[in-house]
Amino acid sequence: MSPAIRQYLIITGNYWAFTLTDGALRMLVVLHFFQLGYSPLEIALLFIFYELFGVITNLVGGYLGARMGLNRTMNIGLFLQILALGMLAVPAAMLSVPWVMGAQALSGIAKDLNKMSAKSGIKLLVPGSAQGKLYKWVALLTGSKNTLKGVGFFLGGALLMFVGFRGAVIIMGVALLMVWLASLVLLTQEMGKSTAKPKFTDILSKSRAINVLSLARMFLFGARDVWFVVALPVYLHTAFDWDFWQVGGFMAIWVIGYGAVQAVAPRFTHRDTKALPGRRVAILWAALLTGIPAAIAVGLGAELSAQYVLVGGLMVFGVVFAVNSSLHSYLIVSLARSDGVSLDVGFYYMSNAMGRLIGTLLSGWIYQAYGLEACLWVSSLFLLTATVAVAQFPASRESSFP
């Protein structure tokens, strides 16, 4: 096994372990605090710092990765997640809203340091001439991560039922501590440190192609989270009378399937091995996605069987969204400069985090004020905007990205 493959496996293993705790913690917080009587908007507010600090971390984290190296930023991310879990393991009486928001801030920093490091690291482990391999590796990393996130949703719901909130975060914290200690020993290859010391102003992208993709990414993930983060689990619990086990299990299955599609996305978009996907393919898949939330909203408004409409619509949405996400992830890693890759990747995932922040806030507010159908209509509007953004991808890139 080559050193590059070994480092890839270590990075992927770290990413998997982190993602399990991240998905489980998200489900734990949503269900536990809804159980305590928090409104959907109040639950959404608990995640403000998680998403806000994700925006900041991707900008600053890219800069730190270029100066410190990606192995260090990845290990810092793992350690911060352990601290966040420790903060939530305090007695229930101490779990005030500011305290939980602070823990979520640490978790948000940790998640995006880990994600930025993993995605940037792949760029450096694959030769520049092997774009097909790069697409497959990025798709596999992204898809496997989301599959594990789905398992984390299921794990969060199950742990909440069997050991309670505090017991769950203690178990996850101890497990992640073991992973962090192993990473300190095994992740030895220095990666991502720029040969020229980057200026702090370099955190802002000067590439039109990257800026266009970043704008599209922001609206793509805002469109998902505006109904998926708070509105959907609360709706499943209240409208369908599903218990926490069922809600966590269903969302876990959805995200696992979503991740599986991401992992094989090249089979959908890369049939011609001589022509890697680019603007035309991205526009096509974004346009296909745009009408799906609107169709679900129409079905719910027509008083059809809500369970069939929502569950069936979610399956279709998950497949098409997964291809879009995997395709965008490949394009940004491919476009990023090799020297200081984390700067471009960090800027791009800053937009991703901004989309999640906007979507999370709107998910709680719109659902509480207007219901799930309104969230779905806003989702389609966001996706239309993402499609228009992708269409602005510079024509000059078409020779490299057909």
Report the CATH number at residue 50. 1.20.1250.20
Q: pLDDT-derived band of residue 51, with 50, 70 and 90 as boundaries?
A: confident
pTM over 0.75: no
Taking 50 as the threshold, does the pLDDT of residue 400 lie above it?
no
Q: pLDDT-derived band of residue 398, with 50, 70 and 90 as boundaries?
A: very low
**Segment among 55-69, 117-131, 256-270, 291-305 with least mean pLDDT:** 117-131
Identify the pLDDT of residue 401.
Answer: 39
Identify the pLDDT of residue 143.
Answer: 75
Rama region for 307: left / alpha / beta (φ>0; ψ in -120 to 50; rest) = alpha
Q: pLDDT-derived band of residue 119, with 50, 70 and 90 as boundaries?
A: low
Higher confidence at residue 202 or residue 118? Answer: 118
Q: Could you read off the pLDDT of 329-361 as tens digits, one per residue?
A: 777 776 665 555 556 666 777 788 888 889 988
How far is residue 309 from each of residues 119, 250, 303, measured CA to CA in Å? Answer: 35, 15, 10
Taking 70 as the threshold, does the pLDDT of residue 277 lie above it?
no
Q: What average pLDDT does the segment 265-276 reach?
A: 62
Taking 50 as the threshold, does the pLDDT of residue 270 lie above it?
yes
Q: Could you read off the pLDDT of 284-323 as tens digits, one per residue?
A: 889 999 999 999 999 988 877 888 999 899 999 999 998 8
Q: How many domains does the chain have?
A: 1
Mean pLDDT of the chain: 79
User: Residue by residue, what is the 3-state secondary structure of the chain?
Assistant: CCHHHHHHHHHHHHHHHHHHHHHHHHHHHHHHHHHCCCCHHHHHHHCHHHHHHHHHHHHHHHHHHHHHCHHHHHHHHHHHHHHHHHHHCCCHHHCCHHHHHHHHHHHHHHHHHHHHHHHHHHHHHCCCCCHHHHHHHHHHHHHHHHHHHHHHHHHHHHHHHHCHHHHHHHHHHHHHHHHHHHHHHHCCCCCCCCCCCCCHHHHCCCCHHHHHHHHHHHHHHHHHHHHHCCHHHHHHHHHCCCCHHHHHHHHHHHHHHHHHHHHCHHHHHCCCCCCCCCHHHHHHHHHHHHHHHHHHHHHHHCCCCHHHHHHHHHHHHHHHHHHHHHHHHHHHHHHCCCCCHHHHHHHHHHHHHHHHHHHHHHHHHHHHHHCHHHHHHHHHHHHHHHHHHHCCCCHHHHHCCC
Cβ atoms 282, 328 nearer than 8 A: yes
Range of the domain at 220: 3-188+197-399
Q: What average pLDDT does the segment 165-174 reach?
A: 91
Identify the pLDDT of residue 85.
Answer: 92
Identify the pLDDT of residue 384.
Answer: 95
Q: What average pLDDT does the segment 182-203 reach?
A: 62
